[in-house]
Each structure stands twice: as structure tokens, then as C-alpha cells.
Amino acid sequence: MSGSQKIVVRPVRFTDHVKAMQRFLELLGLRPRVESTAGGWVDMVCGAGMVALHDAASSESGAPSGQTTLSFEADDIDALAARLVEAGVPDVAVYDESYGRVLTCTDPLGDPLAVDERADDLYGYVVHPMAPSSSLRVSPVRFTDPSGDYGRFLSALGLTVRGAADEWYATYAAAGGDHGLVGLHRTADDAGEIPGVVAGRTAVKLNFESPEPVDDLADRLRDEGYDAEVRHESFGSFVIVVDPDGQRVDIHPAPPT
């Protein structure tokens, strides 16, 4: 996409524990960028991508605490809307909300998805000047066929496949990964409940990639009172930690650059 149409991966976590989740994300390396004066919304940024925290009690969608949904932020949603319409994405609309302009559409799983336009008018919000201090990457995971329509949908949004995809997993990168990642993970038919995913519209698992060694990261999280462990699988080692909402978060090593 052109610079005027850049898109940033920004999952939204609905939570009854906004401040506790903010402290947890700050420990991982994110920093607050924009916060509502009422305290029900915080944009957290890191080296690549963002995570928004939304007070569950004030959510118009009725999302339960602990649910994370996939969403994005873009500089020019009119240009993005034109791209999506051209790609055949259904129900594309752009409209104004009290917090700014938003694009909505229907994703390939039949769920609504929103892309907020980055706003210059920050009335009602507090801007934090602190820059992110880490190379952490946001990498939420959507559970669906990685070779199916969802990959084409992410491509229409402007993301590109990173590395080699297979029948079980594919990674899509925004701006080559500099604006975050989205993973597509296939599940077995009898997989049942997915750890770290509270079911709902466009629900995803909140994951990250970090350059910090996994043992050091797990020790640091445990020192702060979090339930963290290093898990060893055939594809490599990663950290599992339980966040303040009681949800599992996976933190994988960042691939070599």
C-alpha cells in the first residue's frame, strides 16, 4: 500500500481490568499512546503494531471481559475502502463516530471487522509522548484455514505473507512486519475451546513476538508475579503467560533479521 494508505495491526482487548492489563502490556514492552479521559480506552504501542484496551462494561457490542477482537488502524480509510470494494469484500462502509472515522466490512468468516482512521483531532483523549522502548511485535492469531479466503482478505487490506505458509499456519505482515503481524492458524475439527480465545465476533488470540530470550522473559514475568512458563514444541520454544484477565498469551521469539 502507499504511505497514505498504511495499515497497522491493532487488536482490541475488552477487559474489566484496564489498568492491570495496561501494566501487564507495559511489562512486555508496550507503551500508552492515546488514552480517553474517562479511562475506558487506551491505545498501547510497541515496536510493531498496537493493542487497544477497552473497558468491557462500556462496550456497545457487549463483548465479555477477556475477549480480544481483530481490528486495524489506517491513515486513509477512503482509499482502503475503494481497495476492498474492488477486491469484492462485502458490506464496506465508511462513517463517522464520536471518536473519529471508521471503516467497517464483513470478513470471510461472516464477522464484522473495523478499521479506525488515525485521527488528528484528539478531543477527549490524552496523548502520551513516550515512545515504545522495545522491538516487540503484536501478532494476534485468527483461527481459520490459512490457505483459504482469509489470507486473500488480509492481502486486500494491504498485508503480505511473511515466510513460507503451510496447511497449518501462515503469517501476514503489515508493512513487512513493521506495523504488526496477523497469524492464521488452522485447528482440528475436534479442537474445541482454544486457550486464550474468548469466543465472539472476529475473536483472536493475543500473541506477540519478542527478541528477548525466552528464559529471561519467563523469569522476568515470574518475578513480577505472573504465571509464566517456557513451552518447548517441535517448531521451537516460546513463553506462555496468564494475563490479568485470566487469558493465555503466547510470546514467540522474533525470527532472525
Q: Taking the domains of the chain in order of start, what are their residue ranges?
A: 3-127, 137-253
Q: Fold match between 3-127 and 137-253?
A: yes
Instruction: Encode the chain (257 residues) as per-residue pLDDT tens digits.
Output: 444 458 999 999 999 999 999 999 999 999 998 887 666 889 999 999 999 999 998 877 788 999 999 999 999 999 999 999 999 999 999 998 766 789 999 999 999 999 999 876 555 455 555 555 568 999 999 999 999 999 999 999 999 999 888 889 999 999 999 999 999 998 865 455 677 788 777 889 999 999 999 999 999 999 999 999 999 998 899 999 999 999 999 999 998 76
Q: Among the CATH numbers 3.40.50.2300, 3.30.70.1350, 3.10.180.10, 2.170.190.11, which is that of 3-127? A: 3.10.180.10
For the 137-253 domain, the top CATH level (class) is alpha beta
Determine the Cα–Cα distance for residues 11 and 196; give it in Å rounded to an integer: 14
pTM for the whole structure: 0.91
Classify 18 in phi/psi space as left (phi over 0), alpha (psi -120 to 50) or beta: alpha
CA atoms of 181 and 177, how far apart (whole Å): 6
Q: Could you tell me if 103 and 80 are in contact, meaning their C-beta atoms sit under 8 angstroms apart?
A: yes
Please name the residue that has the C-alpha cell 498485508: 159
C-alpha cell at 206: 493475543
DSSP label of 56: G
Q: Between vectors from CA 182 to CA 127 and to CA 15, what angle results, nearest 5°?
A: 50
Report the pLDDT value the prediction gives residue 39, as an integer from 0 to 100: 66
Q: How far apart are CA 134 and CA 111, in angstroms?
A: 33
